[in-house]
Structure 1
Amino acid sequence: MTVRTQVVVIGGGQAGLAAGYHLRRLGIDFVILDAQTEPGGAWQHTWDSLHLFSPAAYSSLPGWFMPPQAGEEYPDADHVVTYLRDYEKRYELPVERPVRVQGVHRDGELLRVETDSGTWRAGAVISATGTWWRPFLPAVPGRGDFDGRQLHTVEYRNPQDFAGRRVIVIGGGNSGAQIAADLAYDTELTWVTQRPPRYLADDVDGRALFDAATARRRVLDEGRTDTGGVASLGDIVAVPPVRAARDRGLLKATPMFTRLVPGGVEWADGTRAEADAIIWCTGFRPALSHFVPLQLRGRRGHIATDGTRAVDEPRLHLLGYGDWTGPASATLIGVGRPAREAAREISALLAGTT
């Protein structure tokens, strides 16, 4: 099967849906190819206690405010999944699933998208695959020697799985703090971070973070000195469960160890911590293996972009991977603006005006 369309969007999560919304408004023919079997993107695979940083109204995709969740100031992941499913239906977005993209190739004036369900040929491609599907594990000595359970953020679900066990959580970002707080009550917890935890002020939530990211973009656009944006405020949003565990003295960070040993971890001075399980909350990398045929990656595997557009392939846009593809573009509320800009650039490209 070969299908011709104007635009192929790869990924049916929040970034892909935002792109679809703006493409639809511009009257562009497109399809969204999603590898998942159900709507909701990565939100349907998170840990049970995960909540947004912001109220529903400040966590919305373009065109439609997220409805509030009864009894919750900050909606949980299930509510987000429901919202994304309903958003897809509301705007009748053409999502094909499950379709796994295997590679994107140049094909004359078009791009050819090869999948496990056929081939699509298009004038432009938007990649919106995110990072959840590519968890990062650092190269720590002895990682293969540890004889307990090792898992990444993507595999963690709830503290019941570890009740009464000795658990080491590694990571000083939001996922590390939240999972450590989740485990602080029913496990023998050791929380390990590269540097002392930097909590944002307790009254800072996603609204303030989006404002900081927007202000940084304005400063950069005007050629002024970089304010640092969200990173200048801290690493950890003090959501209620994190605040509660911290204020009870249950979140005490330990510096990074030197290596893993069969029964746990060891520091440079020979001190050891025994563990039954280690949870690596060590972040993600962009899921971009489908672009290998285009040979776009430069140093450290990075694809150079101007806004969302790939510098070396103007028919390709990358959306929702973080600040390098638009400030706050990896968030629900932040992805709308770069999605709109990508759709407008593609519209101009298809019209032959760029």
Structure 2
Amino acid sequence: MTDVLPAVVVGGGQAGLAASFYLRRQGVQHVVLDAAEAPGGAWRHTWPSLRLFSPAAYSSLPGWRMPPTDGAENPDAPHVVDYLAAYEQRYDLPVRRPVHVRSVTRQDGTFVLDSDHGTWRARAVVGATGTWSRPFVPAVPGIDRFRGDQVHSARYAGPAPFAGRRVLVVGGANSGAQVAADLLPVAEVTWATLGSPRYLPDEVDGRELFRVASASLRGEGEGVGSLGDIVAVPPVRRARDAGELVATPMIARLTPDGAVAADGTEHELDAVVWCTGFRPELSWLRGLDVPRREGRVVTEGGPAVPGVPGLFLLGYGDWCGAASATLIGVGQWARQAAAEVGAGLATTA
């Protein structure tokens, strides 16, 4: 495609759809390029027992509340996938998939996006590629020598493959606690964390997290991190209260057949599940001179990237907008990005 579009959104998960919703309300012609084969973003790849921290009504994108679930109060991932697919159709969002954007450069005042389905030119780009496709595994000594199975939480598909096995779960945040609790009924689980687990109060769910994040944005309070690291969803709470979900210090190294603890004790293992987070998938930005600090693209506390007019990053984490990586939290930042895109286009015109 050689015509210059006002805007292109890269990524069709929850952040990309929110951006498209507000761009359409701004009257900005645009297209959403999504590398996935089907709607749903990262929610298509989660483990079966995963549920949202909040009820459906508090887990919604702008414009349309997520329909309630049957039975359980908090939706599971398939419910979210169905909602995102219906959201696209409801607002007739211009999503094209699968289109993988390989790089973006700047030429004659416009962005040029190279993809596996041709070239796209735009005056503004909203990056919403998320983090799921870039799982992070720490450089633990001996990791290459371990002969057992290793899987990141991004590829964890449930407890069945680990039944009757000795499993090390590494990671002290939500995914680590949830995966460890998921495995406990079928496997011998060791849960290794860098420090003691910090559980949020049991009554705290996604509604309270969003309220605290929003208050922090207004300069009130210390933000979500002050509450803790782990939301005590029912399976985690049950395992914790039963004394089954017990954290141990982070391992010192892996061996071919197990792990060595900090005190020198060696434990035999059959598998390791790395619940160690993700990094933003921004490899497609390599063709631009974007400001970086300690390896991370610099933003202004919101979606705009300083020094690169027309470039916005949405939904990667708090560094590009408090709670922007959540369903309910991304809307305010998508609205801001769309407004700035519209204002920029008007100035250019």
Q: TM-score, normalised by structure 2?
A: 0.98
**1:70 and 2:76 are equivalent in the alignment:** no
Matched position secondary structure for 2:310: strand
Partner of 1:224: none
Given that residues 304 and 312 in structure 1 are in contact (C-alpha distance below 8 angstroms), is that contact kept between their aligned partners in structure 2? no
**1:300 and 2:288 are equivalent in the alignment:** no
Give the Cα separation in 2 of the matches to 1:174 and 1:111.
38
- Report the CA distance between 1:268 and its aligned residue: 3.4
Q: Deviations over 1:234-287 (max 9, x none)?
A: 000000110111111110100001111111110233201211000010001100
Given that residues 193 and 256 in structure 1 are in contact (C-alpha distance below 8 angstroms), is that contact kept between their aligned partners in structure 2? yes
Given that residues 299 and 305 in structure 2 are in contact (C-alpha distance below 8 angstroms), is that contact kept between their aligned partners in structure 1? yes
- Report the CA distance between 1:297 and its aligned residue: 4.6
Give the Cα separation in 1 of the matches to 2:293 and 2:268.
38
Equivalences for 1:187-206 in 2 at 5 Å?
187-206=187-206
Partner of 2:119: 119
Give the Cα separation in 1 of the matches to 2:206 and 2:156.
23
Partner of residue 260 from structure 1, selected from 254, 257, 266:
254
Partner of residue 333 from structure 2, selected from 322, 335, 338:
338
- Report the CA distance between 1:151 and its aligned residue: 0.9
Partner of residue 313 from structure 2, selected from 313, 318, 336:
318
Q: Deviations over 1:278-306 (max 9, x none)?
A: 00100011000000010315232211112
- Report the CA distance between 1:3 and its aligned residue: 4.4
Equivalences for 1:147-158 in 2 at 5 Å?
147-158=147-158
- Report the CA distance between 1:145 and its aligned residue: 0.9
Given that residues 131 and 279 in structure 2 are in contact (C-alpha distance below 8 angstroms), is that contact kept between their aligned partners in structure 1? yes
Equivalences for 1:110-259 in 2 at 5 Å?
110-219=110-219, 227-259=221-253
Give the Cα separation in 2 of the matches to 1:3 and 1:175.
44
Equivalences for 1:22-37 in 2 at 5 Å?
22-37=22-37
Give the Cα separation in 2 of the matches to 1:242 and 1:258.
26
Matched position secondary structure for 1:269: coil
Give the Cα separation in 1 of the matches to 2:102 and 2:203.
44
Give the Cα separation in 2 of the matches to 1:68 and 1:298.
41
Q: Deviations over 1:199-257 (max 9, x none)?
A: 1111100000000000000007xxxxxx3311000000000110111111110100001
Matched position secondary structure for 1:352: helix
Partner of residue 275 from structure 1, selected from 269, 278, 284:
269
Give the Cα separation in 2 of the matches to 1:195 and 1:340.
38
Given that residues 170 and 278 in structure 1 are in contact (C-alpha distance below 8 angstroms), is that contact kept between their aligned partners in structure 2? yes
Matched position secondary structure for 2:309: strand
Give the Cα separation in 2 of the matches to 1:300 and 1:3.
37
Q: TM-score, normalised by structure 1?
A: 0.96
Select between 97-106 and 307-316 the one with higher mean Cα deviation.
Answer: 307-316
Give the residue type in structure 2 aligned to 1:321.
Y
Give the Cα separation in 2 of the matches to 1:319 and 1:3.
25
Question: Percent same amino acid at aligned positions?
Answer: 60
Given that residues 2 and 118 in structure 1 are in contact (C-alpha distance below 8 angstroms), is that contact kept between their aligned partners in structure 2? no
Partner of 1:80: 80
Matched position secondary structure for 1:204: coil
Q: Deviations over 1:53-84 (max 9, x none)?
A: 00000000000000001111000000000000
Partner of 2:101: 101
Give the residue type in structure 2 aligned to 1:196.
S
Matched position secondary structure for 2:254: strand
Given that residues 250 and 262 in structure 2 are in contact (C-alpha distance below 8 angstroms), is that contact kept between their aligned partners in structure 1? no
Given that residues 328 and 335 in structure 1 are in contact (C-alpha distance below 8 angstroms), is that contact kept between their aligned partners in structure 2? yes
Give the Cα separation in 2 of the matches to 1:171 and 1:273.
18
Q: Deviations over 1:313-337 (max 9, x none)?
A: 0210000011111110000000000
Give the residue type in structure 1 aligned to 2:77.
A
Structure 1: gaps of 5 or more residues: 221-226
Partner of 1:223: none
Partner of 2:58: 58
Structure 2: gaps of 5 or more residues: none
